Amino acid sequence: MIKPELKDRLLFLGPLLVLPGLLVAWPLFEIALLGFKNKVTLFGIDRWVGLSNYQYLFGEDLRFWKAVTNTLYFTGVSVALEFVIGFAFALYLRFGSGSVWWKTILLLPWAIPNVVSARLWQWMFHAEAGIVNHIMQTLGVVEGPVYWLADPDLALHAAILADVWKTMPFMTLLLFAGLQRIPETMLMAARVDRTPPLRLLMRILLPALRPAILTALVLRLLDAFRVFDVIYVMTGGGPANSTETLSIYAYRTYFQALQFGYGSSVALMQVGMMAALTWLAVTVVKDRRRAA
């Protein structure tokens, strides 16, 4: 006999356990299975190849490693910038003046759809008609037009700037919510003791914000690591694959080359890397919390 308490828990938790299984676990299982096949539907190829896809992926596919490098660089730089700028804005919203207007303004980039935002920045970075080059030439920073999205050394940085502008408000709101949860008595005690601003930041604010920081970093790491729309709209992964991320590489392998088996191995490696990044972020924050 099932205990009434356990029965009630299963009744309420059942949908939460079943739906993720249907929506996440089963497709993930299918992708994992396809990763061991050479399946090209267009030519009727569907055969078991074992670890051949992964052997080629790790040993010979230089394009895959270029996509990994681009993804890690994009994720690290964009999340770091979003955290620094977002934390500065969160402090201003919590302790500064005019916070009501700033809250409204900060929400505007987050409210714009990703594709619209990416297209907006694509126009702004246009070599001939973009406002970025116009301002830089007016100020005398550059003499001629800069081809932001056509230069392999600049295109990824332009995409990072667009992503930071779009998602920094999300980081700000999470950190601001964490600052709001800090007891006012603790802040008043710091004012009475005339605690220096740097000491207040390092000894009171940051330790109290660790749960909010962990949440913000994990969510943004996962979101940035699977970036697709902003880069695909702005550069399409070019020029010369200089902005091609794992998501774009998997998309091209799946839906352009129609290599479902190899594309599944790429997608599965991306999922594994995302899980490793999440574990690393959680471990680092928890270790620092124990040390404090």
pLDDT tens digits along 78-128: 999 999 999 999 988 888 776 567 677 777 888 888 899 999 999 999 988
pLDDT, residue 64, reads 93
% of the chain with per-residue pLDDT over 70? 93
Annotated domain spans of the chain: 53-291
**pTM exceeds 0.75:** yes
Q: How many Å apart are CA 199 and CA 40, to the nearest integer? A: 60
pLDDT tens digits along 214-265: 888 888 988 999 999 999 999 999 898 999 999 999 999 988 888 888 999 9
Terminal Cα distance for the chain, rounded: 47
Decide which of 3.40.50.300, 3.10.20.30, 3.40.50.1100, 1.10.3720.10 is the CATH code for 53-291.
1.10.3720.10
Nearest one of 213, 216, 219, 215 to 274, comparing CA atoms = 219
Q: Are strands 45-48 and 37-40 parallel, antiparallel or unpaired?
A: antiparallel
